[in-house]
């Protein structure tokens, strides 16, 4: 009987590779976490600090550094970080060098509600608590705050943030009642009666035409109220 040495060599090589892989995997699991790195992704990184994240992990998961890698449950660590009200998303992974890296996206406030309850409205239209680390420079929302009026305020803020002039100049939204909203501007004394959130593009187009003409005429200071509530027109009340 002729022995096929090629098959035997291949089988031995396969066993050796599997053995080495198993040994390396076992050694890898026995290694400890050498370091923990917190990375904040994007520009909006003001509302929670690296120290706060580390404290959150210790309180809710236990110490991570010098812990056996096989003891870590990365999904659970992500859930712990995302439980913080300032965190929008978190991604956690281990490097081959034993470094635990957490990439965190913080939430972005676009408005601040001032009333009995004080909180931010974020870029997804959700309530976001105030931060002890930073106060966002966003339009102030006052008046009759309800679920529906907050939804409308979110629509208005989204429009404002997509327009360079409005984003720089609108400093407040006052909710008179559902369907009746007022805007306050940084450099002007007049109040803009916006009405409801329907036809915002047409309303602001008319407003910009009025503003350009009144600026040219040096008459902006003459007005107390600028109303955009009526179809395709701007109605002004002088001081």
> What is the rounded CA–CA span in Å between residue 139 and residue 124?
16
The mean per-residue pLDDT over the stretch 125-132 comes to 95
* Number of domain units in the chain: 2
> What is the rounded CA–CA span in Å between residue 190 and residue 239?
9
Q: How far is CA 173 from CA 110, 158, 202, in A?
A: 12, 13, 19
The mean per-residue pLDDT over the stretch 165-179 comes to 96
Same domain, 38 and 100: yes
In a domain, 58, yes or no: yes
Give tens-digit pLDDT for 48-81: 999 999 999 999 989 888 888 888 899 999 999 9
In a domain, 180, yes or no: yes
pLDDT at 144 over 60: yes
In a domain, 96, yes or no: yes
pLDDT band, very low/low/confident/very high, at 159 (cuts 50, 70, 90): very high
Same domain, 155 and 222: yes
Q: How far is CA 155 from CA 51, 151, 173, 205, in A?
A: 35, 6, 12, 16
The mean-pLDDT minimum among 42-46, 77-81, 127-131, 220-224 falls in 42-46
Nearest residue to 203 via CA among 169, 147, 239, 160: 160
Same domain, 145 and 197: yes
Domain-ending residue, one of 53, 82, 106: 106
Which residues span the domain enclosing 165?
A: 139-238
What is the structure's pLDDT at 19? Answer: 42
> What is the rounded CA–CA span in Å between residue 180 and residue 143?
11
pLDDT band, very low/low/confident/very high, at 208 (cuts 50, 70, 90): very high
What is the structure's pLDDT at 97? Answer: 87
Same domain, 69 and 144: no
pLDDT band, very low/low/confident/very high, at 4 (cuts 50, 70, 90): low
The mean per-residue pLDDT over the stretch 86-107 comes to 94
Domain-ending residue, one of 87, 106, 125: 106
In a domain, 195, yes or no: yes
Nearest residue to 131 via CA among 99, 163, 84: 84
Domain of 99, CATH number, reads 3.10.20.310
Question: What's the residue count for the chain?
Answer: 239
Same domain, 230 and 143: yes
In a domain, 133, yes or no: no
Same domain, 169 and 210: yes
DSSP per residue over 89-109, as a string?
A: EEEEEE-TTSEEEEEEEE--E
Same domain, 98 and 47: yes
Question: pTM to 2 decimals?
Answer: 0.81
What is the structure's pLDDT at 65? Answer: 86
Nearest residue to 102 via CA among 53, 47, 44: 53
Residue 10 tokens, joined: 């291949």
Same domain, 89 and 154: no
In a domain, 173, yes or no: yes
Domain of 230, CATH number, reads 3.40.50.11690
The mean per-residue pLDDT over the stretch 128-142 comes to 95
What is the structure's pLDDT at 13? Answer: 57
DSSP per residue over 158-203, as a string?
A: HHHHTSHHHHHHEEEEEEEETTEEEEEESS---EEEEESSTTHHHH
The mean per-residue pLDDT over the stretch 189-200 comes to 95
In a domain, 207, yes or no: yes
């Amino acid at each position: 009987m002729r022995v096929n040495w090629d098959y035997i060599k291949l089988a031995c090589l396969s066993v050796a590779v599997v053995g080495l892989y198993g040994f390396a995997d076992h050694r890898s699991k026995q290694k400890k976490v050498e370091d923990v790195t917190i990375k904040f992704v994007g520009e909006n990184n003001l509302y929670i600090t690296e120290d706060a994240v580390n404290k959150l992990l210790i309180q809710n998961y236990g110490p991570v550094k010098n812990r056996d890698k096989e003891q870590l449950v990365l999904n659970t660590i992500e859930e712990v970080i995302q439980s913080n009200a300032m965190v929008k998303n978190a991604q956690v992974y281990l490097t081959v060098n034993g470094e635990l890296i957490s990439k965190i996206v913080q939430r972005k406030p676009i408005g601040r509600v001032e009333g009995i309850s004080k909180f931010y409205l974020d870029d997804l239209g959700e309530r976001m608590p105030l931060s002890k680390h930073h106060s966002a420079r966003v339009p102030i929302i006052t008046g009759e705050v309800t679920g529906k009026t907050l939804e409308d305020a979110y629509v208005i803020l989204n429009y404002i943030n997509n327009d360079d002039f409005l984003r720089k100049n609108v400093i407040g939204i006052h909710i008179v009642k559902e369907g009746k909203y007022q805007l306050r501007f940084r450099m002007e004394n007049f109040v803009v009666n916006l009405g409801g959130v329907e036809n915002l593009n047409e309303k602001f187009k008319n407003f910009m035409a009025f503003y350009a003409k009144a600026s040219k005429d040096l008459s902006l200071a003459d007005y107390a109220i600028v109303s955009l509530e009526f179809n395709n027109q701007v109605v002004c009340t002088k001081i």
